[in-house]
Amino acid sequence: MGTANPEPLPLILTDASLKISTDGTTTVMNELACVANHIEISPDVSVTTLDTMCGSKDYPGTVKWSLVATLYQSFDPDATEDTLSAALEYGGPVPFSVLPYKSQPISATNPEYTGLVIPKPYSPINGDAGDASTVELEWSMDGAPVKNIVPGP
């Protein structure tokens, strides 16, 4: 009789980290976890369909990655507006980091995803009367994200 495997624990995003660089380096990365409501690293796979006399066949095409996030707008120092506007003003791709559990070290059970995003203009004020203003980001990545399971120095 074998040993029963423990039931896998689902990832519940209550302690996640989202950091975005303001200057194109990994030295100045602002933590946006306390203004983040949604974080997603999303692949978009284009499909090429070839129609012939024998029928149609789909072939996978290029994969394009995006960092998708919903943030609450904040004009506090180093919060939403400071971070996003500085990243946009930088004028090129900036580093980002997403970590499932910011209170735990990077490991196989807490992988860090990093890469470069290409900032684009966003709506700085968005909401209804009495509701929090949100910023909806969908920034393309420059390449695929990198999964890191080794803690840094």
pLDDT of 151 reads 83
Enter the pTM of the model.
0.88
pLDDT of 145 reads 98
Domain range for 78 is 17-47+58-145
Whether 151 is in a domain gets the answer no
Whether 139 is in a domain gets the answer yes
Whether 53 is in a domain gets the answer no
pLDDT of 46 reads 87
Whether 124 is in a domain gets the answer yes
Whether 118 is in a domain gets the answer yes
The angle at the Cα of 133, spanning 97 to 19, to the nearest 5 degrees, equals 10
Whether 89 is in a domain gets the answer yes
In whole angstroms, give the CA distance from residue 153 to residue 138: 31
Q: How many domains does the chain have?
A: 1
CB 134 within 8 A of CB 69: no
Q: Higher pLDDT residue, 4 or 125?
A: 125
Residue 6: pLDDT over 70: yes
Average pLDDT on 84-100 reads 97
What's the chain's length in residues? 153
pLDDT of 60 reads 87
Query: pLDDT for 130-153, tens place per residue?
Result: 999 999 999 999 999 999 999 876
pLDDT of 106 reads 96
Whether 133 is in a domain gets the answer yes
pLDDT of 24 reads 95
Could you tell me which of 73, 90, 78, 82 has the C-alpha nearest to residue 142? Answer: 90
Query: pLDDT for 13-66, tens place per residue?
Result: 999 999 999 999 999 999 999 999 999 999 998 888 889 999 999 988 889 999
**Residue 1: band (very low, low, confident or very high) from pLDDT cuts 50, 70, 90:** low
